[in-house]
Structure 1
Amino acid sequence: MTVTEAELDPKYQTLWKKALISAERKNWEYVVDQVLPIVTANVGFLDGRKLLRTAEGESVGNGKKFSFGLGGLKPSSKKEPVEAIADLEENTFRKDPFSLTANEQLFDLAMKIQYPDLASFALETIRMGHPENTKNMHKLAKHYLAINQPEKAADTYNAILKVNPRDIEAKQGEKDAAAMSSMNRGGWNSGNFNDAKKDATEAAELEMLSRQGMTQDQMEQFLAKTIEQYNADQTNILIVKRMSDLYERLGHLETALTFYDYALSLNPGDVALQRKVEDLRNKVQDLQIAEFEREIEANPDAPDIDDKRAQVAEIRRQRGMAVINEAKARVDRNPTDKNLRYELGQAYFEAGMYTEALPELQQAKSNPKMRIKAILLLGRCFERKNMNDLARTSFMEASKELLVMDATKKEVLYELANVSEKMGDRAGSLEALKEIYNADYGYRDVAKRVESSYS
């Protein structure tokens, strides 16, 4: 049911091209005016609807007021679903793109016309505007499972666990989604399902022995048995994971990481396994860095000292790129999720890739819940690029929007003071510092800097 640009009527193709130009120029009001007639006439033009919602989000993020979920018109029962969808676009989403009520109505209408991708979009829009609404995310995850998109379901359950790590249903849902993904990829039948049951029994035995305090000899015996099974069937993911686990328990972390990586290649959709690989890789790299740093400190004049420093820098670079690649993959799976855009921008920032971070953080600004964090990090990117005037503008923008002197506002004002000082604006710097001084005498070095200005 999805309509592509090439399938649009020529007049709408022309309008779409104009909208893309307006989007490049960030003329969001024009984008809304240009895309709205396209999507109301073409319910299946999902790319257009995504751009429209982005433009609406940018518009409401620039000072326009909108409700968090109380908006939305009740579609008339006399109207056909497609007509009701057009009504929502024209009368509600333009003012309140993240409305809970309206997006839930859009979900229901999309399912009525058997358009699950549009239904997904409706719930993803709620998720973008209300990233802590776990009820919506549960609905979204179940929807993804129902339409056989377990990878996206697993990502959604993972997002729930970030908000509420104790959510038992999300923990089980993530496992079920990963299992469903594995079955989809592996084409399971009754025969290998029985093999999997046997493997599961052995995994349970391993877990029981572990809880009882398995000795190193027992682990090594169990590992030897598992290696034999692996040699007989190297594509059995349960055997590979069990072998990885045993190597990790025995302290052979690099070998464990190698096999966890291989397990992930057998089932790339296993979100829990992805996290395990990331965590273990970080642990291995931490040990490598610590070892190199001990050697550097113990013998700073060693002939290979520069090589060791270079290796430490390379490990850190690789870690940063791994974080970036994972963040990019999450954005690719959910391109409308502004939280994920922020995480990608943050990953770029921490890797020193400030230019790459800018567009991600600019998109993240349209989510009201992420707006201040995104603006603050944008300012830091500008400052790192020595674009101090733009940095100051960002910090001032964030400061104006923060009405309460909380930890975030102090952080923003402190950054504003520092960049103002870099620009030679001592008066502006002191003004920002004094705001903090009046609220929190002990904040960083604020008292010293303010009081020294009077001497």
Structure 2
Amino acid sequence: MVDFGTQEENNRRKKIANEWWKKGTEAMSRQNWDFAIEMFGNAVQFFPEFMNYRQALRGVEEKKYGNNKTGARMVFLKVNSLRSRVKKARTAKDWAEMDKAAEEGLTLNPWDGQFNHDVGECCRERGFEEVATWAYEKAVQSEPENKTFLLSLADIYEQRGNYQGAVGIYQRLAKLEPLNGSYRSKITQLGASQTIDRGGYEKAKDTQEVKRGYEHDRLTKAEEADGPGMSVEADLQRQIRKEPENVGHYVKLAEYYRKEGKFAEQAEILKKGLEVSSDPNLREQWEDVEILLTKRQLEQLRDAADKGDANSKAKASELAKELIAREVDVLTRRIDRYPADLKIKFELAERYFRLKKYSQAIPLYQQAANDPRHEATVLVNLGKCFLAESRNDLARRQFEKAVSKLNFQDTPDPYKECHYILARLYEQSKDNTKAENHYNEVLAVDYSYKDTRERLEKIQGAAG
């Protein structure tokens, strides 16, 4: 439970919320749904972290609409302003306002998956994990194949230690995307987390466990613990020595190292596991942690270079080349394994784009454009690729598609760049009316963007 202030203030909130709750209960007994919704809604606003108020509110909302699963008539005409409020509050990170707007949306349609997910998101940000979990579950009930909703639910299940629940969600995701190997890897990881937690290695519940935790910290500094049950690391190493052919032991120890932030040790034990097994999931985990370690090394070199170390600057340049070459190699092999995974294709296209290998990036971007998560970025970068290949007509077509999907609030830099490039292309083709329109779109949000003002004045001057 999140503390909103002093104990006195919290008690005051509880007392006021309870009064609203009583009035709502009385209205519910008389089937006065509108008044019950108002009262329970007030209780939720005064004490938003209390699950019972949320559940009661949603229950009477559903009864008001006779459990029709669609809510109010012509509801789609009424919710757009509320969705805009939610979006604005999310951008401002005003989680209380976002919560309020989403709950108002649910009074119109309590089965709306997006509004339920919005409640889950803002409650999670506010620290109301129990309410957030319930709201995510409601969202998934409404849209059982929505991958965003499923991932949010799996993530909070994992955060709260419900590994079995998280595994179940990832299994559902794997059925929706059978070629997405990341879900199978996550299932393996969660299995290891469940084993570690079940062993009591991370969550102390009483003073004896706290004492054992202290002893664990002391023992893991030594070469090996005195005996079983005193160190998770030593126990898992002992299991590997006992059954070196059992890949599961390597996975569990690697997961332990990951949760401890010991990524070098994680990479080392995964590499040892690969010596006894050719399991592709194990290889992918090893590749991922190796890339992570390389990125961290690169950050350290760049930090040193920023402080004037010329040697670090040269090393950083070489390591950056090695890193992107490694990423290209890894992503290329993963596309062979998961040919329908658009996210991997997007990531590989991004690497080719940075390497200025535009002809190789283009077909990957074209396929990745079918993924709505990256559509706008893909279209902009496709346009840039075609520009680099001197295919201006194709470039303009991509930028025209992209500009309709961009807005300044969410993506300010791509928004300005896309309008600016379109203006330049239209200016080049002597279509000054369209060029002027796009230059004006840029100036409306950034009056000093590049040479936009000078170019617009030149066009207007030529027009007389």
Calculate the TM-score normalised by the size of structure 2: 0.45
Calculate the TM-score normalised by the size of structure 1: 0.46
RCO (CA 8 Å, sep 6+): is it higher in 1 or 2?
1
